[in-house]
């Protein structure tokens, strides 16, 4: 049985990083995934970083953020061998509920253009594709 729980640092970090590195095209790693950045994230809203466990193994993650106005979703990932069993949906349902309880009324996520499977997944969950230009800047 799959069990959802809050991410625990540093104990879950290596398994989460391994999952993200092997998740395929959908998860892009960067400086914000370094241990010290994960620690900073957990200081802000640790209840929005979830993992899924199956038989004691970390098989899924999702990270949420909430700035007091809008929510963001990052790093929804499920181990390739466990995909199609509803683990991603369990993670997303829980994250969306936690964001709602914080007062979040609108949430965003980013999907790389080559990840059509993720686009189909999110659209089936009621997410709407937005026609926007996305910008980023390292500070």
For residue 56, give the CATH number of its domain: 3.40.630.30
Q: Is the residue at 39 inside a domain? A: yes
Model pLDDT, residue 138 = 85
pTM recorded for the entire structure: 0.94
pLDDT at 92 over 90: yes
Q: Is the residue at 62 inside a domain? A: yes
Model pLDDT, residue 24 = 84
Q: How many structural domains are present in the chain?
A: 1
For 1-53, how does the pLDDT look when each residue is reduced to its tens digit (9 = 90+)? 999 999 999 999 999 999 999 998 789 999 999 999 999 999 999 999 999 99
For 98-110, how does the pLDDT look when each residue is reduced to its tens digit (9 = 90+)? 999 999 999 999 9
Alpha-carbon gap, residue 50 to 97, rounded angstroms: 12
Three-class SS of residue 33? Answer: helix
Q: Is the residue at 90 inside a domain? A: yes
Q: Is the residue at 75 inside a domain? A: yes
Q: Is the residue at 32 inside a domain? A: yes
For CA atoms 63, 115, 13, 2, give the dihedral sign. Answer: positive
Q: Is the residue at 101 inside a domain? A: yes
Q: Is the residue at 91 inside a domain? A: yes
Q: Is the residue at 139 inside a domain? A: no
Whether 90 and 82 have beta carbons less than 8 Å apart is answered as no
Of 49, 45, 55, 67, nearest to 12 (Cα)? 49
Q: Residue 39 sits in which domain range?
A: 3-124
């Amino acid at each position: 049985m799959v069990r959802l729980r809050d991410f625990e640092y540093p104990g879950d970090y290596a398994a989460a990083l391994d999952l993200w590195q092997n998740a395929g095209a959908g998860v892009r790693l960067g400086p914000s995934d370094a241990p010290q950045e994960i620690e900073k994230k957990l200081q802000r809203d640790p209840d929005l970083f979830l993992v899924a466990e199956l038989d004691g193994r970390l098989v899924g993650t999702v990270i949420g953020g909430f700035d007091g106005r809008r929510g963001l979703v990052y790093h929804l990932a499920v181990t390739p061998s466990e995909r199609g069993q509803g683990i991603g949906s369990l993670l997303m349902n829980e994250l969306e509920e936690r964001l709602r309880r914080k007062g979040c009324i609108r949430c965003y996520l980013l999907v790389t253009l080559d990840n059509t499977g993720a686009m189909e997944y999110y659209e089936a969950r009621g997410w709407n594709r937005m026609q926007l230009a996305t910008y980023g800047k390292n500070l």
